[in-house]
């Protein structure tokens, strides 16, 4: 008898340590901003909430993978994340690499799973957009540019592009995903994508401001690291006052983008405000 | 104006080094066994060749990611792959991690891309099966068990499971993918999957034999590493003579599995023979 070797619960061996490390990396008390955005964007169009929750979970797995890998010694070398030891500290280097790989892969497993109301068309579209948001034209490419920025400081346009790829891409996806889940067409998808782009810029600007103004206890991670590494941020380049004014401008732009949806968009617009003015 | 930041050719910055490292990791003269299997399995059912080629490329990207990450210092710590420096040697540790991440992500981008004759249903099914083959229940889980095996040697059943996950899962997917591309139902998919399981076992057994009998120049990578690490293989456990007889048995079983398809299956059956009796 040849073995059908998909492991089942209780079988002779399971990669227990790997699964634990993935749990540790994903379920460690983050803000869950990205799944929240997927849910709220889907709600805006009356999209199915179970499907939105599933896509949100996938996105959080993918986001968690990026944190696990970015924290590795060869990358940003962080020992602390959300106030707790990072995965390679709590487990080991190899397990942290694999846990990131596993979370990234699992994100696509979750989205492609046929146990929601999502159509095959929506599933395929979500996979495509998520892969592009996470890949070389998005988050992974942005992280590569970020590593390069430690060797040669980018100019303003370079910083904007880098951040739009590294941080913005997943937030754009989160918002657009809501429209895809609800089966909306190009116009709504593009509008939600632009809203995601704006809040992505606000998110990063607020992050860069907090890196200057907040302390590690509030943030649950090391602060002042950008300056210590000589890493260019818009705050460093254009000053705190400019950054605060720019945040105001972005919050207004975000609200204008969703004005067409009337009162239904209130929660998303409040979320933009939260992102811009958060304290950690 | 807010920037739509998907990078385009010629834009202000591209993650050039990352993209080069991905090319280096993927286009380095491997056997291309997995895409070949996808193509031949699709041909068996008259499936679209362009679609099969696309899925084959995705699978090769995914396979390449696993090699890039497995070779990392924290994992198997290999300096040589297919006779050339591994990605972290040719580039650097961080770039190798990101190149693996990028290749894994790009695999799903390729499969979900709407520019083939594949239906949305086939695309979603391929994403799901690939994610499961690559994830904690497949390749990544198998690699975790492999790392654990260096600390505590598994028994025979443990070795079979580990190899079936680490190596077998992608080969099973390659064969089943051909049936999915051709729009075949459960029976053909299951049959091709069983064929993939058998050739996966043959592949691994041949690999373990070659690790004992071949030299590094022939293999293009270090040999004798299993024994040096005290890593349990079926060859070490049951001997060379048993392994050679088992390979015969597996080749026969592979041919029997596809007998129902008559002469159309000749190429796939020859491939099983090649896998079992290859010299590198």
Q: Is residue B3 part of a domain?
A: no
DSSP sequence for B115-162: SSS--HHHHHHHHHHHHHHHSTTTHHHHHHHHHHHTTS---HHHHHHH
> What pLDDT band is residue B215 in, cutting at 50, 70 and 90?
low
Q: Angle between the A139-151 and B16-26 helix axes, to the nearest 10 degrees?
A: 120
Q: Which pLDDT does position B249 carry in this prediction?
A: 98
**Chain B residues lying within 8 Å of A136, measured CB to CB:** 15, 18-19, 22, 102, 105-106
pLDDT of residue A29: 80
Taking Cα atoms as reference points, which of A199, A214, A200 lies closest to residue A252? A199
A42 Rama class: left (phi>0) / alpha (psi -120 to 50) / beta: alpha
Read off the pLDDT of residues B227-264 as tens digits, 9 standing for 90 and up.
666 678 899 999 999 999 999 999 999 999 999 999 99
> What is the rounded CA–CA span in Å between residue B229 and residue B116?
45
Q: Which of B94, B122, B146 to probe by mutation at the A interface, max A CB count within 10 Å?
A: B94
- pLDDT score for A8: 42
Dump pLDDT digits (tens) for B130-174.
999 999 999 999 999 999 988 888 999 999 999 999 999 999 999
Radius of gyration of chain B (CA): 19
Structural domain of B224: 16-277
The answer to the question of residue B210 being in a domain is: yes
**Are A153 and A237 within 8 A, CB to CB?**
no
Alpha carbon distance A104, A68 (integer Å):
10
Q: Based on the structure, what is the number of domains in chain B?
A: 1
Report the CATH number at residue B244: 1.10.600.10
Cβ–Cβ below 8 Å for A124 and B127: yes
Predicted pLDDT of residue A7? 44
Q: Which two tokens stand for residue A167?
A: 């941080």
3-state secondary structure of A14: coil
Closest by alpha carbon to A179, among A98, A260, A62, A270?
A: A260
Give the H/E segment covering residue B176.
Answer: helix B169-181
- The overall longest dimension of chain A from CA atoms, in Å, is 71
Distance (Å, whole) CA B22 – CA A39? 34
Residue A257, classed as helix, strand or coil, is helix
Highest mean pLDDT among A211-225, A230-244, B108-122, B204-218: B108-122
**pLDDT of the residue at B224:** 65
- Is residue B4 one of the residues assigned to a domain? no
Residues of chain A with pLDDT under 70: 1-13, 215-230
Nearest residue in A to B156, CA atom = A12
Range 189-218 of A in CB contact (< 8 A) with B:
194, 197-198, 201
B9 located within any domain: no
H-helix or E-strand spanning residue A80: strand A80-81
Question: Residue B7: inside a domain, yes or no?
Answer: no
The answer to whether A227 faces chain B, any CB pair under 8 Å, is no
Please tell me the predicted confidence (pLDDT) of residue A150. Answer: 83
Q: Do A5 and B101 touch (CB under 8 A)?
A: no
Higher pLDDT, B278 or B175: B175
Q: Quick check: A72 and A88 in contact, CB under 8 A?
A: yes
- Indicate the pLDDT class of residue B216, thresholds 50, 70 and 90: low
Dihedral sign computed on CA atoms, order A109, A174, A26, A68: positive
* pLDDT 10s digits, A60-86: 999 999 999 999 999 999 999 988 999
């Amino acid at each position: 008898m040849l073995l059908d070797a998909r492991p089942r619960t209780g079988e002779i061996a399971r990669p227990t340590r790997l699964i634990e490390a993935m749990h540790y990396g994903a379920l460690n008390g983050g803000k869950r901003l990205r799944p929240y955005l997927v849910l709220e964007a889907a709600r805006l169009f009356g999209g199915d909430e179970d499907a939105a929750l599933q896509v949100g979970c996938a996105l959080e797995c993918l986001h968690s993978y990026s944190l696990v890998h970015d924290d590795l010694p060869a990358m940003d070398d962080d020992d602390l994340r959300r106030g707790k030891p990072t995965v390679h500290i709590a487990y080991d280097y190899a397990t942290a690499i694999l846990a990131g790989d596993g979370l990234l892969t699992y994100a696509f497993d979750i989205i492609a799973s046929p146990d929601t109301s999502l159509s095959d068309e929506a599933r395929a579209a979500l996979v495509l957009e998520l892969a592009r948001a996470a890949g070389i034209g998005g988050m992974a490419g942005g992280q590569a540019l970020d590593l390069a920025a430690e060797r040669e400081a980018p100019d303003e346009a370079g910083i904007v592009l880098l951040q739009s790829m590294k941080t913005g891409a997943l937030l754009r996806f989160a918002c657009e995903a809501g429209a895809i889940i609800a089966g909306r067409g190009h116009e709504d998808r593009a509008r939600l994508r632009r809203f995601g782009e704006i809040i992505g810029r606000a998110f990063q600007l607020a992050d860069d401001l907090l890196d200057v103004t907040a302390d590690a206890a509030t943030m649950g991670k090391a602060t002042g690291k950008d300056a210590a590494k000589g890493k260019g941020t818009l705050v460093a380049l254009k000053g705190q006052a400019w950054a605060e004014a720019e945040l105001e401008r972005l919050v207004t732009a975000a609200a204008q983008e969703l004005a067409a949806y009337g009162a239904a968009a209130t929660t998303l617009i409040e979320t933009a405000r939260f992102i811009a003015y958060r304290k950690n």
